[in-house]
Structure 1
Amino acid sequence: MTINLFDDSSWASLRPLTFTRPVADLRIGILTIAEKWAKYLDADFGFSTQQYLSVKYPAKKNVKLFINGSVCPDQDLLNVISALKDGELILSGNVVIAFNCIDGLNYEQALQQLKPINYELPLIKVVYPEHIFANNPAEIRKDFELLTKGRTSAKISNTNQLLGEDIFFEEGAKAECSVLNSGYGPIYVGKNAEIWEGSLIRGSFALCDNSSIKMGAKIYSGTTIGPNSRAGGEINNSVIWGNSAKGHDGYLGNSVLGEWCNIGADTNNSNLKNNYAEVKLYDYESKNMRNTNLQFCGLIMADHSKSGINTMFNTGSIVGVSANVFGGGLPPTHIPDFSWGGANGFENYKLDKMFETTEKVFARKNIAFDQTEKEILTNVYELTTAHRQF
């Protein structure tokens, strides 16, 4: 089977995280949304996304089945989609979940032309950035069952203290002298990932392939560390997409970090306002603040962004693509894409300078910073000009 995962209006409301990828390429739980669908359906997948992203994330040709890339799969939804006939469309309220038709019809056309089937069961749909960490504990549990069902964990060193039964190590995964508590949720450690000595980890928790937790880390429930990443300090209910580093002491809570991010030593974020009020986040569409209806909401940081040592992020901070934040004091809660500075003000982070740094970052992981990546970032730079008012 081959499917295409399409972006709906969630792509816009999930900015800045989606400036550099389709919605279905976001990680929530252990896997990206696209990887979840591929696993459930035993399918190859492509993306129906923004034109400037389609070189890196192409659509598959001659495909009939299209699935909303912001919707996380579960068995009930899978059963309905598997029974979908040609010319039919699944609706949840006004949201198009999936449709089966000739290649080339987008979801708006499908809504007008195809026979609707109403889906009334609850589902997880990622519409805003905070939905990623809010739904991460549930998605870790679902992905854990999906990935480990019928399998046996690799051997876990007896120097560790293991609490509970839901702990799974993939081949090459290692941990020593650490406490792993799955009494509150499963713990998954990917291929060649490593938990260093003295770490305290409470599930649900996922450490993806080739990543590491540094000595003495304190990791709380609902946390995912994506592939090829390094994490340390204190982390609670947060998702790090991959190829990123929060390797030092400092607190990260109720937060999402994109790819190629680096958090300086002793960087901290607040996730609760002093007056316990609901947290607001900057909204790219309205250019105003949007109420999340959450009391706990920390830092949303898009791809390629970095913070210097001792940086302090206020409750409900949005950091755009390729921002560089440093210096004393609290910077504003919205830090525009391609900006350079801190509490004392920002200036434009020019593309040529950004490319120089990014090429070095990619080289550290033996990845080429190619023309496709440069063109995507150039498009994001142009799309975000109006948000840089300095």
Structure 2
Amino acid sequence: MTIVVFEDPQCELLAPITLARLAATVTCGSYRLVDFLELLSDDVFAVSRPHLQAIQRIDFPSLKSLESEANGIAEDRPVSVFLNARVAPTASNLATLQTILDGLQQGDAPLPPSVIMDREHVAAVIGPPWSLHDLFQSGYLGMEELLEKAKQFHPIDAALSTIGLPHELIQIHMDCIRENLDLRIRLSQMESSGSPALTQLSDGLFVAEGATVGDYVLSDTRKGPIIVDRGAEIGPYTLLRGPIYIGPKSRILEHSAIKDAVSLCHTTKIGGEVEASIVEPYTNKQHHGFLGHSYLGSWINLGAGTCNSDLKNTYGTVNMEYGFGKSQTNMQFLGCIMGDYSKTAINTGIFTGKVIGVCSMMYGFVTSNVPSFVNYARLFGQLASLPPEVMVSSQQRMFSRRNVQQRGCDVQLIYDMYRLTQIERDRQGDALAL
């Protein structure tokens, strides 16, 4: 069964979440879509945005590149499922995909090609009329035309939920994390799944090999399980209130409070209070301060005392401001969305529902959205552009602290993101001192 996962133009509206990462590698409920694809098939290709194709080839070999495989692709090689990379990595979506693939293996392929829609967007095409060669010829730039054609295919009665805007990721994460953690526990009991074996230390508290839990840790699993993955460390005098996922080699500092739908990816360092949030790999929030109902990308550092607000003083629902305008979220609790490589100084306060771009530095109170590649200090009357060369040097120093080699593709990504986000800085006009 050949699956092709594609990025569509809507991925660009998920910025800053998807500026530095493939949409299929965004974490939600402790999983990424790429994790599910590895469970479903050994033959997965990906059509990604041009600036991320090198990252795809090097970091995600399970997502084979149509470009790198072009010479070996037979022109008539068929595709079983054409899948949107924004399909949320939820256990229910995995079950739907598994049912579809089982039907195809049993010869139940729908004729003619069929489409699954989520709102006005194509979530998947079953038995598409395009071969791998056709998709290679089309590429990302031809994706919009293909999807317009797909909307005319025969609709089938199946549900695949997608992530449309950044705040939706937080809501879907909270809705699915308990179900996803239950799936992790089930997979850990199946030798063929490749998932690490989990040992239940107490009711609902599961740990993998090499994980350590300090003294006087209180685990409350009444609302969902707690999973501590391989090599993770939980410091003493810590509150854990599930559902929670603590990724491999993560470290929870002493006297922390981690609670109510938190997903921490590998090699994160966390302290203080964290609630209902996603933290991507290599991000640090090791000091006291509150993080709630938020998304943090990779290689972020929150200075001591940094806090964000996730509730308006009026107790009303939060409206988000995006590049295309305002969006009603219907969410009462919603914190911040922060892109990769951004940093906060000590005692930074981030107001409710703010979007912070990639590679920015914040000082004082963050009362408005922050463009990418900006020094933001409105409290002191300062807002200035950050050149990409500064971020390349910062990246090298960050990587060396974690024994990560800076590669050419990492440096190029910084320059590509600077180019792609110029419109954010242009909107500031005279307010941005260039």
| TM-score (normalised: structure 2) | 0.81
User: 1:308 Cα deviation (Å)?
Assistant: 0.7
User: 1:345 Cα deviation (Å)?
Assistant: 2.5
* Partner residue, 1:249: 288
Q: Where in structure 2 are the equivalents of 1:352-367 lying within 5 Å? A: 352-367=389-404
The answer as to 2:239 corresponding to 1:200 is: yes
Select 1:378's aligned residue among 405, 415, 418. Answer: 415
Is contact 1:10-1:126 (8 Å) kept? no
Question: In 1, Cα distance between the equivalents of 2:155 and 2:112?
Answer: 14
Letter in 1 for 2:285: K
* Partner residue, 2:139: none
Indicate the percent of aligned positions where both proteins have the same amino acid: 26
* Partner residue, 2:388: 351
Q: Where in structure 2 are the equivalents of 1:4-43 lying within 5 Å? A: 4-39=4-39, 41-43=40-42
Is contact 2:292-2:310 (8 Å) kept? yes
* Partner residue, 1:88: 113
Q: Where in structure 2 are the equivalents of 1:215-364 lying within 5 Å? A: 215-284=254-323, 286=324, 288-326=325-363, 328=364, 330-343=365-378, 344-364=381-401
In structure 2, relative to structure 1, the CA distance for the partners of 1:198 and 1:6 (3 Å cut) is same
Select 1:75's aligned residue among 95, 115, 127. Answer: 95
Letter in 2 for 1:69: A
In structure 2, relative to structure 1, the CA distance for the partners of 1:337 and 1:80 (3 Å cut) is same
Residues 85-129 of structure 1 show CA distances to partners (whole Å, capped at 9, x for unaligned) of 386233225432223341133474255269834344444321111
Point out the more displaced range, 333-342 or 68-77: 68-77
SS at match of 2:123: strand
Is contact 1:273-1:279 (8 Å) kept? yes
Select 1:66's aligned residue among 68, 73, 82. Answer: 82
* Partner residue, 2:205: 167
SS at match of 1:112: helix
Point out the more displaced range, 220-229 or 377-386: 377-386
User: 1:135 Cα deviation (Å)?
Assistant: 1.6
Question: In 2, Cα distance between the equivalents of 1:113 and 1:123?
Answer: 16
Select 1:97's aligned residue among 123, 126, 133. Answer: 123
Letter in 1 for 2:281: G
Residues 4-32 of structure 1 show CA distances to partners (whole Å, capped at 9, x for unaligned) of 32112330221111111221110011121
In structure 2, relative to structure 1, the CA distance for the partners of 1:379 and 1:154 (3 Å cut) is closer
Is contact 1:133-1:256 (8 Å) kept? yes
Is contact 1:137-1:204 (8 Å) kept? no
Is contact 1:156-1:175 (8 Å) kept? no
Question: In 2, Cα distance between the equivalents of 1:245 and 1:173?
Answer: 19
Question: In 2, Cα distance between the equivalents of 1:340 and 1:217?
Answer: 30
| TM-score (normalised: structure 1) | 0.90
In structure 2, relative to structure 1, the CA distance for the partners of 1:320 and 1:115 (3 Å cut) is closer
Question: In 1, Cα distance between the equivalents of 2:17 and 2:421?
Answer: 13
SS at match of 1:201: strand
Residues 329-360 of structure 1 show CA distances to partners (whole Å, capped at 9, x for unaligned) of x2232101000132233101111111111101
Could you list the runs of 4 or more consecutive aligned residues of structure 1 that deviate by over 6 angstroms after TM superposition? none
Long gaps (5+) in structure 2: 58-64, 136-142, 190-196
The aligned length equals 379
Letter in 2 for 1:9: P
Point out the more displaced range, 120-129 or 204-213: 120-129
User: 1:36 Cα deviation (Å)?
Assistant: 2.1
Question: In 1, Cα distance between the equivalents of 2:399 and 2:112?
Answer: 44
In structure 2, relative to structure 1, the CA distance for the partners of 1:82 and 1:371 (3 Å cut) is same
In structure 2, relative to structure 1, the CA distance for the partners of 1:82 and 1:108 (3 Å cut) is farther
User: 1:382 Cα deviation (Å)?
Assistant: 1.1
Long gaps (5+) in structure 1: none
How big is the alpha-carbon RMSD for the aligned residues of Structure 1 and Structure 2? 2.2
Select 1:126's aligned residue among 121, 146, 163. Answer: 163
SS at match of 1:242: coil
SS at match of 2:54: coil
SS at match of 1:74: helix
